[in-house]
Amino acid sequence: MSQFEGQNIVDFLKVFPDDESCLVYLGDLKWKDGFQCVKCGHQSGCQRKDHGYFCYRCKHIESPTAGTLFHKVRFGLRKAFCIAFEMSTSSKGISSIQMGKRYGIRQGTAWFFMQKVRKAMESSQKWPLCELVHVDEFVVGGQEEGKKGRSYNTQKTKVIVGVELNQKRGIKRVYAQVIDDYSSKSFTPFFEQHISKDAKIVTDKWRGYTPLKKQYNIDQIPSNKGKNFKELHLIIHQIKSWIRTIPTHASKFHMKKYLDEFSYRINRSQFKQTIFHKIIERMVKHKPVYQYQIIQNLSV
């Protein structure tokens, strides 16, 4: 198969003129290393004209979308591909209201599908931030306020963010996670999942970081009103404006998904040529997610 590359929407629409071309693309991805029947595990069969795979042993016909995040997409695969394309290639966030209007589907339908795309954007946790990493926390939602003395306003969602910097202090990668409070206990899962033990970590003087020094190489320096953490504050600013583009459901409950989406796109900004293909690949590998699971925010 040839994988789609680039960010050109005209090329994209030429390669995917209809639902069928998308189905073929999914099938090629799903069975690129050969077929294995989901029902009985048998490995021989043939692909039918409708692009489903027919198992010679149990006669089950498997659709390219079965068992993937495209399972039961009812508004058409081409629209689904377009939404994934826009989400992975545009640099600004697009709300589900806007997306719904653009593709003639209900806002709710757009929102559910976008949550599935975000699901595929979740970090694999295989590549923790390393080298020089700056870490800080901030709040999103509600009114803006200065950071003095940390906010304990429960209306807002608290977030911890880590930024990996290169030698010229350029931003390489970013991870962010929702936290309950500013204690070292709440910081710990973020460190474990997203920061390498070998990283040289810099934070401000907040005492919540001090206990983590036992396991991590942390240097605490004065923030100097943010001057010592310029790159970090640029990212925090971007995350806040990003969240503002998502007026519906930008609740604490679903914040994780938006943060995952933000990080995914920043971390792959140097690989924009293949970003669409990669997201489709992840969506094919990921097991289906159902609406009730998204509503209840179950981890799947």
**66 near Zn ion (CB under 5 A):** no
> From residue 233, how far is each of 15, 147, 206, 230 by CA, in Å?
40, 12, 16, 5
How would you classify the pairing of strands 171-179 and 61-62? Answer: unpaired
Please say whether the beta carbons of 46 and 54 come within 8 A.
yes
What is the closest distance, in whole angstroms, from the C-beta atom of residue 56 to Zn ion in the complex?
8
Size of the site for Zn ion (CB under 5 A): 8
What is the closest distance, in whole angstroms, from the C-beta atom of residue 43 to Zn ion in the complex?
9
What is the closest distance, in whole angstroms, from the C-beta atom of residue 194 to Zn ion in the complex?
40
User: What is the contact mask toward Zn ion in residues 10 to 49, using x (rule: CB under 5 A)?
Assistant: ---------------------------x-xx-x-------
* List 26, 29, 55, 275, residue binding Zn ion (CB under 5 A): 55
- Between CA 8 and CA 89 the distance in angstroms is 9
- Which residue, 55 or 178, is less far from Zn ion as judged by CB? 55
Residue 163 region by backbone torsions, left for phi larger than 0, else alpha for psi between -120 and 50, else beta? beta
- Which residue, 53 or 113, is less far from Zn ion as judged by CB? 53
Residue 241 phi, psi (nearest 5): -70, -35
* List 58, 66, 94, 130, residue binding Zn ion (CB under 5 A): 58
What is the closest distance, in whole angstroms, from the C-beta atom of residue 1 to Zn ion in the complex?
23
What is the closest distance, in whole angstroms, from the C-beta atom of residue 67 to Zn ion in the complex?
13
- Between CA 204 and CA 229 the distance in angstroms is 9
Q: Which stretch binds Zn ion (CB under 5 A): 27-35, 59-67, 92-100, 259-267?
A: 59-67
Q: Which stretch binds Zn ion (CB under 5 A): 60-68, 72-80, 212-220, 275-283?
A: 60-68
- Between CA 119 and CA 282 the distance in angstroms is 9
Whole-number CA gyration radius for the chain: 21
- Between CA 17 and CA 26 the distance in angstroms is 14
- Which residue, 53 or 103, is less far from Zn ion as judged by CB? 53
What is the closest distance, in whole angstroms, from the C-beta atom of residue 68 to Zn ion in the complex?
18
Angle between helices 107-120 and 96-103 (to 10 degrees): 110
User: What does the binding site for Zn ion look like in residue numbers (CB under 5 A)?
Assistant: 37, 39-40, 42, 55, 57-58, 60
